[in-house]
Structures are given as C-alpha cells and as structure tokens.
Structure 1
C-alpha cells in the first residue's frame, strides 16, 4: 500500500513538470524514495569582441602541381598580411592541401576530366572588430574565392558558459522547489544529475543590434555590418529527493 501511494505521488509530481523535457532519460539513476525530476535552463548574452573568419582558396588547373602552387601562393599572401591586423600565429589555422582530379561524366557515361582542383582554408580570429571589413577585403585580395564562415564570439566564453550553467542549475532547483511546495513537501538533496548540455548561438535580435562602421578602400563607401549578440546557453536535468 505504501509503495503504491509513493508511486502515485511521484507520478503526480511528474505531471506538474509539463514545461520540462521527459522526466528522465534511459539509465538515469532514480531513488526508491519519493523524488522529483526537474529541468532547468540558463542563458547569458554578451556583446562579441572578436570574430572568427574562414577564407577558402580553390584553384582548378590542367595539372595538379599548378593547382597546388596557385592555392599555396594565395594562402601565403594572406598569412603574410594577417600580422598587420594584429592576428598572431595562435589565432590562425591553415588547413592541409586537398587536391584531386575533377571528374564528370557525359550522357553516355564517358569519363571527362575537367582538370585538377586544389583546396585550402585559412581561419583567422580578429580581435579588433573595427577592422572586420578590411580583413574581408584583404582575404579576397589575397586570392580567396569564398568566405565560408563568419562567427562572432566573446573572449569571455568560458566564464559566460559557467554563468549559463549556474543559471540552469538554479532554475532546476527553483522549479523543483515550487512543485514540492505545491504538494506540501520539502525539497531534499540532489540525488543525481542526468545531463548538462551547453550550446552557443549568434543572432541578429531586433532588440540588440550594435552597428559597426568599418573603413573601406580609399574612394569607396565603407562597409557597414550589424554586430550580433552572442548567446551561451545550458540545460540541466536533475533528480531531487523529497524530505519525509
């Protein structure tokens, strides 16, 4: 009889957590005593102070050596220019060479060689956002054929992630406390933590746009970009015991 009442109480507490994910994932340790499974969310927004840019260099040539040399020359020009933007070796990653024959087939299934395609990427982290447009111009001038990724970031990311986790933990505890009080119970200690997940996003929210005006080439209008807000979020699912 007692175990039946305990099960009914636990199921009723689960039902109140309708805004949370499923009470527990497979394999989550659960106590035999009355308990609550609660989920919490935490998010911290910040103004980015650096940007990570990836430049792509491609070259299609009749011979593989010519394709490699052309790509290497473009990468070398960009690497030589990066110190002028205050970008040191620790802020740069240059990928290995990817070279292969570019092959297609005609309607009759006959093999057609278009030449040899060489590819490399250079990723650089810029700490002076006022020079963002100038860096883009410099990469394209060096021979980059595409800018494949632009990611605004905060240099305080580790601290911001910890703040988001702390908020998620507090949110889970608050949720569990409210449910316990609604049943006239008292929240006990944490029995287990199922998961802590973190995520990062950068968006152009209508409420938080900061305009960046950067210097363009002489005689041309400056490039204008909208700086996003970066968001660090975390979620946690925890099992709390109930005091008897």
Structure 2
C-alpha cells in the first residue's frame, strides 16, 4: 500500500513539474504587467425604482401598486421613452403579521411591491424621469447607475495605455540590467469588466440633485501581462 502511495505521489509530482516547465521559458526573460486607465464622463444612466404599499387586503394592495406603476409607465411613454428602455417586474405580494408575546401571530395586512427599471439615453433627462416617478407615487429608488454609451471605445484606450505601460517597464528594466529586448514570448490578457457609477439607494422624499451625477466620472481600467525574451 505504501508503495502504491509513493508511486502516485511521484506521478503527481512529475505531472505538476512538467506543467510548470511547459509554462516557463528556458531562456533569459523578464515579465511585466502593464496598467492603463481612462477617465470617462457618463452620458447615460439606468435606474430602478420601486413602489411599496401596505393595506388591509391583498386586493387593495395589488390595486394600489398596479395603479402607481401604470401611471408611471404611461407618463414615461408620453415623454418619448421607448418601451424597450422600460422593464417592469411582476407583483410581489406578502402577508404581514403581528407577533404578540403570547398567542398566535395575527394577520394585520398585506404588502405589495413592484419594481420598474428605466434606461436613460440622455443623461440630462434623468432628474425629469425621477420627478415623474415621484409624482406617480413611486416611493423608493433602488439604485442609479451612470454609464457611457460606447464602453468599448474607452476600454480600447485603456488597453493601449496598458500595453504602452508594459513596454516602457520592460525597456527600462532591460536597460537597467544591461540587456536588450529580443521580442515578446507570451501575452496574457483578461479584459476587466467596466463598473458603472452606482448612486446609493434613497427614499423618494429626498430629491436627487443633478450635481450628484452630472459631475461624476468613471475610471475604466485595463491590464496586460507580458513575458519578453532578452537578447
């Protein structure tokens, strides 16, 4: 049994060693990581709002929530918001109970809620749409995400900066050690995801000031790892 275990250990060690050797060049080389970032100003947004109502009966709660959502959607369409830029969720309905110290739980009403998400292609209209939500009876903002319409363009700029950074580092290191770069042996790249600017959740009784998003900026980053062969 000990011989079998020793054999398995030897085989596994050999496999790991072979894998490491296969990914390690057998010539003089240096590895660098290049980083790049671009500052972009958001030009669009997505926001999610919710209406929550609690009433004595399930029918009343549903009716109240559905009316608020219907009024909100109707007004958005009047303002020219395309139906493809609006997404409303199904009704969520749950009973509400009071739990006395002694005795059984008591049903005290029903809570209903629905969520509506809107894509805003013109950032300057964001406050206008939030005002419409407030006037329709929406009572909660889940989040506001500020974005750019052409993220690939900014990502490409950040990638170019990352490549430039990797090359500059490699040239500086090689020169510092009295070497010259012979060429690129390996490039590793995994594009990072672009993170939107997310505003905090808030109650609809506190209006969102335009300065909180119109002056915001997004940092779009990229990275590339390169192995250079030395001459």
> Shared fold by TM > 0.5?
yes
TM-score tier by shorter-chain length is: 0.7 to 0.9
1:233 corresponds in structure 2 to: 220
Tell me whether 1:56 sits opposite 2:50 in the alignment: yes
Query: How far did residue 107 of structure 1 move?
Result: 4.0
Query: How far did residue 161 of structure 1 move?
Result: 2.1
Check the 8 A contact 2:158/2:220 in 1, yes or no.
yes
Q: 1:156 aligns with which of 150, 159, 165?
A: 150
- Distance change in 2, residues 1:194/1:49 (3 Å): closer
Q: For residues 80-95 of structure 1, what are the structure 2 equivalents within 5 Å?
A: 80-95=74-89
Check the 8 A contact 2:143/2:198 in 1, yes or no.
no
Structure of higher RCO (CA pairs closer than 8 Å, 6+ residues apart): 2
- Distance change in 2, residues 1:233/1:131 (3 Å): closer
What root-mean-square deviation, in Å, do the aligned CA atoms of Structure 1 and Structure 2 show? Answer: 2.9
- Distance change in 2, residues 1:120/1:111 (3 Å): same
2: CA distance between counterparts of 1:65 and 1:102? 14
Tell me whether 1:35 sits opposite 2:36 in the alignment: no
1: CA distance between counterparts of 2:141 and 2:53? 15
TM-score normalised per structure 2: 0.73
- Distance change in 2, residues 1:236/1:131 (3 Å): closer
1:192 corresponds in structure 2 to: 187
In terms of fraction of residues, the more strand-rich structure is: 1
Q: For residues 63-78 of structure 1, what are the structure 2 equivalents within 5 Å?
A: 63-78=57-72
Query: How far did residue 152 of structure 1 move?
Result: 2.1
- Distance change in 2, residues 1:132/1:198 (3 Å): closer
2:12 corresponds in structure 1 to: none
Query: How far did residue 104 of structure 1 move?
Result: 5.2
Check the 8 A contact 1:56/1:120 in 2, yes or no.
yes
Q: For residues 87-236 of structure 1, what are the structure 2 equivalents within 5 Å?
A: 87-103=81-97, 105-108=99-102, 110-187=104-181, 188-193=183-188, 195-202=190-197, 225-226=210-211, 227-236=214-223
Query: How far did residue 186 of structure 1 move?
Result: 2.6
Check the 8 A contact 1:192/1:238 in 2, yes or no.
yes
Q: Please state whether the residue corresponding to 1:192 is helix, strand or coil.
A: strand
Query: How far did residue 203 of structure 1 move?
Result: 8.8
2: CA distance between counterparts of 1:130 and 1:159? 22
Q: Which has the larger radius of gyration?
A: 2
Check the 8 A contact 2:145/2:198 in 1, yes or no.
no
TM-score normalised per structure 1: 0.70
Q: For residues 4-19 of structure 1, what are the structure 2 equivalents within 5 Å?
A: none
Unpaired segments of 5 or more residues in structure 1?
Answer: 1-25, 205-221
Query: How far did residue 202 of structure 1 move?
Result: 3.5
In terms of fraction of residues, the more helix-rich structure is: 2
